[in-house]
Amino acid sequence: MALNLQSVGRENGPHTLQWTERDTLLYAVSVGAGQDPVSELSMTTENSDGLPQRVLPSFGVVMGQQVLRPDIGDFDRSKLVHAEQHFELHRPLTATGAASVTAKVSAIHDKGSGALVWTETTSMDAGTGEPLLTARSASFIRGEGNFGGERGTAVTWEAPQSKPDYELLMPTRPEQALLYRLNGDRNPLHSDPKFAAQGGFDLPILHGMCTFGFSCRALVATVADGDSRRLTSMGGRFSSPVWPGDALTVHIWKDNEDVLFRTLRSDGTVVIDHGRAKLSGPAGSD
């Protein structure tokens, strides 16, 4: 088994993807929205009086992941974990819509103990051709390193020494992964104990993108004043697994429109590190 290093630069797509209000509502609920049934009604209902439906920004990444990256070779799928995720929205997502999506392998880095595979996904409005969302994702594949490739450059990130401006506790549910997988990510690492054991886990773990969605909710609720349209970009590094039922705490530092964040398990372990986000416009603006 070996990675195909010649896959760098290859593309899959463009493919036209459509989504409905049901898809965006399901996504919001699958990342915990609605545990307080009032504060997130705009993301969990489509017919509440005076509340037009809004979309959690991280949904755009999940929608784009339906277009698979080009084949990168043969490897043990149980050794792959989601390492990083970043996105930039060029305009707010609508509750229903269609996009033309292309996925490209942008780099494969040699990390010694494994390979870090970067994929870039671009989504264009299917009707107008205007840019909608750009996403960058990294997967770490254990045992596929030491092929003599470049290690890649590290991005500097330091947690502020000051107390977080916001500290939000967000419980997950025991069935959280089973609910989240209905968005389309059916990787058995998150549902099948035998497959999870092959990857070195005692039990199925929560999708990294589910934890990412919880963190996105925390950012919207705090620094974006509940207005999901204000969060224009977000990214972070998955540093430790989360199990369904874990409680998450999101630490957030705000400097005008720039935001840093970290997400931790209840035992204090950092599970999303190097978190960055950006805001645009005052609350309630279009």
Listing DSSP states for 19-88 in one string gives E-HHHHHHHHHHTTTTSSTTTTHHHH-S-BTTB-----TTHHHHHHTTSPPPP-B---GGGEEEEEEEEE
- The residue with tokens 């671009």 is 122
Pair 103, 121: CB distance under 8 Å: yes
The total number of residues written for the chain in this structure: 286
Distances in Å between the Cα of 71 and the Cα atoms of 27, 100, 146, 185 are 27, 20, 20, 17
167: tokens are 């500290």
Neighbours of 79 (CB within 10 A): 17
15: tokens are 């493919």
| Degrees, nearest 5: CA angle 147-86-148 | 10
- The dihedrals phi and psi of 251, each to the nearest 5 degrees, come to -95, 130
My answer on whether omega of the bond before 70 falls inside 30° of 0, hence cis, is no
> Where in the sequence numbering do the catalytic residues fall?
185, 190
**Phi-psi category of 95—alpha, beta or left, where left has phi over 0 and alpha has psi -120 to 50?**
alpha
101: tokens are 């999506």
